[in-house]
Structure formats: structure tokens, C-alpha cells
Structure 1
Amino acid sequence: MDGETKPHVVARTAALLRAIAATEPNGASTASIARASALARPTAHRLLSALAEEGLVDRDQRSGRWSLGPELYLLGSLAANRYDITDSAGRILRDLARDTGESAYLSARRGGETVCVASEEGTFPLRSHVLHTGIRLPLGVASAGLAILAHLPDREVEEYLACVDLTEKWGPSHASTALRARLSEVRRDGYSTNPGLLVEGSWGMGAVVFDRRGEPAWALSLTGVETRFGPTRRAQLGERLLASAHALSQSLR
């Protein structure tokens, strides 16, 4: 394919699928997918057309917008037997949202990112809308990714920080020095706190969920407006998150 190596094509294809997934359920235009995946528009269109022939993506003939295809649903339903924990997490998310009033989320680690895979809206009328199902964020940016990163071995943390520059998109508050300080706080408290670093006035807290091997594979998080996250209540929310994350970790074992 135009002299491209197979691994290169696979990487580009994966980038396209992730870009589409981030726009579900409304789909996305070829141009927006190309921008999100850092591909030239003709290249993106060519790859999308090939994926459509295999049923991996679908295109609305009227709007021209791309969505994930039926073949991905079939493949995903089979993979869910091994990787999906949303059923186990459903009750815990509902209880968190009901008891705290804040919106609750479950995020999965995927390499150097977290992917939000399930959510439950809180009852408090003022809400934070930073997170949504399907959003991908680098480790160390949102509270879920911060909690996961803090529980990785030091060697993995240093390797990760050496190969990413989070300041380019997320600002100086995500420089390595500042990030290391927050990781120390997570290790001290057990839970993470994001004090409005993504969107001013929107706070988040997270606690890691361990898989059967004891590795930090997921995280539960709560988000809300800053006025709901005073010091006393923050400690209470942190304890509640830790208890919920522990219960979910235990249920997976």
C-alpha cells in the first residue's frame, strides 16, 4: 500500500478506529478523523474505505459521517468475555453516584492512556462534563490516569515520563516535576485528586482497580464542581473511592 510497511498500516488503522470511537454515537467526518489521527485526508479516506469493505466501519450515505461498523461489535462481544468488567462495576458506579451526588466513571488502562468505558451521572444539579464514555486521556492527566500511573513500578513511570511531553497539550501543570509531586501525593493518600487542571473549576478524584494479577488495570473516579471538593469532603470521597475500588478488585479475583 503505497510502500507502507504492514506495521505502519496497522498503526494508522488503529488510530482511525480510535478517532471514530471518540466521536460515537454521532460519527465523524473524514476531515475530522484525518486531523485526529494525524493523517492526510486522502490517506484517511482510502483506509476508511478499505475498513468499510470489511465491515469494521460504516458510513452514512446522507451525511458522509463514519461510525464503528457491525464487525467490530461482533468481535467486541467475543472479547468482552475476557476484558469487560462493566457488569461487575455497574452496581458500584450507581452506588457511588447515588451516595456522593457526583458523576462516577470507570476507566481502563490501554498502554499509555486511559479510556473511559462506563459512567453514571450524579444527582447534584451542577456537574462536570470533562469526562464521557469513550474519551481517551494520557496517563497522568485526569484523576483516573494519575491513580493508575502512581501504582506502576518506578521504572515504568520513569520510562513513560521520558517519552511523553504532556505540557504541549495540557500545559505547564503537567510538567514532569509537577506530575511527580502529584504521584507522591497519590501514593501517600491512596487516591488521586485533579484540582481543576483540565477545566478550571472542574475537580476529579480517582482510585485504582487491580486485575487478577494485582496490576493497576482500571480506575474508578468521581468528578464535580470545585465547591463540592473541600478538604473535609475530599477526604470522605477519597475513603469512599478506595473502598469501592477495593470491592471491585476483590470481585475480579
Structure 2
Amino acid sequence: MDTGTQVVSKIGAVLRTLSASMPEGAGTTTVAGASGITRPTAHRLLTALAAEGFVDRDQGTGRWLLGPELYLMGSVAADRYDITDIAREHLQALAAATGESAFLSARRGDETVCLSRRDGSFPIRSFVLYEGKRFPLGVASAGAAVLAFESDDWIDRYLDRASLEAEHGAAHTPAAVRARIAETRQLGYAVNPGLIVEGSWGLGAAVFDPAGKPAWALSLTGIESRFTPARRSELGRLLLQHAHQLTERLRGR
């Protein structure tokens, strides 16, 4: 990897870290640790990004936040990539029908990022997933659903380079992830049986772009007692129904 490519990679890591820390922002040390770079390098990059308007700094707390230039760029890119308006009615319908929290997540490289959340009527909720939260593919139900519908060759390469077990525990060994991929392909939807936070379950279904690639996911989360085997089947059916409808709408957009 040449020097220029390394700098771009570091900048990407810094911006993703700040995105995950919104709206509170993050200090320089936190950004450095999460981005895998030294504190002086993080400070240098953040200062340069601030000069261009890509990040901002709260003068009261000293925390760094995403800047106004990214908002402007995001507004321009939204016409192509943002499907939250189209997906909103599906999230509302899922939350209303199930009582659980419903989410839309988008694939971004080797991760999924939560774009939108709608809470159902059941008073006990899981807050593992929230808007702006990122997980690697294969972690959480949304990322598991997206990963399962990639090609086998791509999955092999991804699992070779990913550090899921080191970052997310023994339930995310390559063998365990492959077992959940097989289950997801059989069911059509992914099941997260409390692997991130004990007692917090999730189901996810992939949404495909017009080229047939898994680019988004709809998911439901809630407490374990609400995700019995019989109810999982019903929740999965609803998720697949709405994921298919959303996929079809995107093809016709």
C-alpha cells in the first residue's frame, strides 16, 4: 500500500469513528484508539480535516464531530444512496405489527451502519442497535443477513481478513459465522441469539439493489422471551415480506 493510499485509509477510519460517536463526538485519544493510529497522527488528521470543514470541534468539551462539509456532500449523495424515505413505511409497519424495534441498515464496505429506527409498542427494548451504529458484516442480524447473500468466494476472502473473533468473541469464529450463513440461507433471514448482548435477540433480512447485491437490511430486535421459536418464524416471515417489497420498489425507482 503506497503512502497516499495509507493516508486515505487513515482518514476513512477517523471519519467512521466520528460517525459512530455522534452526536456526542469523541476526543483525540478515543479517535486514535478506535482508528488504529497514534494520537499525534489522529490530531494532525483531525486538524487538517477541520480546516476543510469535514470535522468540527466543540470548544467547550474538546470533542471532535462530523463537520458541515460532510453534511453538504451527504445531501448531494442522498439522491443515489439514501432509501430511508422509501423504507420508512416498512419500518413503521414492522414495528406496529410486532411491537418490537425495527431498523434499516445500509452496507458500507465490510460493515453495516444503522440508518433509521422505529420502536414498537412493547415497553422493554434493546438498545444494542441505534442510528449511526456500525457492525462488521457477520455481526448483528443485519450484517449477518447481508453477508449470507454474498458469493462464497467473497465470504472466504472476507473471513480471512476480518478479526471478528478477536473483536466480538468466540461466537464469531469463522466456523461459527459460516454455520449462521448456512442457517440464514436456509431460513431466508438471519438470527442473532443474544450474541452481542446476552438476552437481546435480533432477526435480519437482506434488501437487494437493482443489480441483485445485498446492500441493505431490515431487522427487528427485542428481548429473548419475545423471540420464541414459533414467534421467530412469524417475525421472519414478516421481515422477508417487507424486505422483498422494498427490494421490488428499489428496482422500479
Shorter-chain TM-score range = over 0.9
Cα distance in 2 between the residues matched to 1:132 and 1:104: 10
The answer for the alignment partner of 1:168 in structure 2 is 166
Cα distance in 1 between the residues matched to 2:157 and 2:5: 23
Cα distance in 2 between the residues matched to 1:193 and 1:85: 24
1:122 Cα deviation after fit: 2.0
1:165 Cα deviation after fit: 2.8
Query: For 1:103-162, what per-residue CA distance to the aligned partner results, in whole angstroms no more than 9, with x for missing partners?
Result: 111111111111111111222111111101111111111111111111111111111112
Cα distance in 2 between the residues matched to 1:98 and 1:183: 29
Cα distance in 2 between the residues matched to 1:100 and 1:195: 18
Aligned residues: 250
1:225 Cα deviation after fit: 0.2
Kindly, what percent of the aligned residue pairs are identical?
58
**Runs ≥4 residues deviating over 6 A:** none
Written as runs of structure 1 = structure 2, the 5 A alignment for 1:137-176 is 137-176=135-174
The answer for the alignment partner of 2:36 in structure 1 is 38
1:177 Cα deviation after fit: 1.2
Q: 1:51 aligns with which of 18, 39, 49?
A: 49
User: Which segments of 5 or more consecutive residues in structure 1 lack a partner in the other structure?
Assistant: none
Q: Provide TM-score, normalisation by structure 1.
A: 0.96
The answer for the alignment partner of 1:252 in structure 2 is 250
Cα distance in 2 between the residues matched to 1:62 and 1:175: 43
The answer for the alignment partner of 1:113 in structure 2 is 111
Cα distance in 1 between the residues matched to 2:56 and 2:222: 35
Cα distance in 2 between the residues matched to 1:24 and 1:212: 31
Q: 1:76 aligns with which of 74, 77, 81?
A: 74
1:96 Cα deviation after fit: 0.8
The answer for the alignment partner of 1:216 in structure 2 is 214
Cα distance in 2 between the residues matched to 1:71 and 1:111: 22
Cα distance in 2 between the residues matched to 1:178 and 1:6: 37
Give the RMSD, CA atoms, in angstroms.
Answer: 1.0
1:235 Cα deviation after fit: 0.2
Cα distance in 2 between the residues matched to 1:172 and 1:64: 37
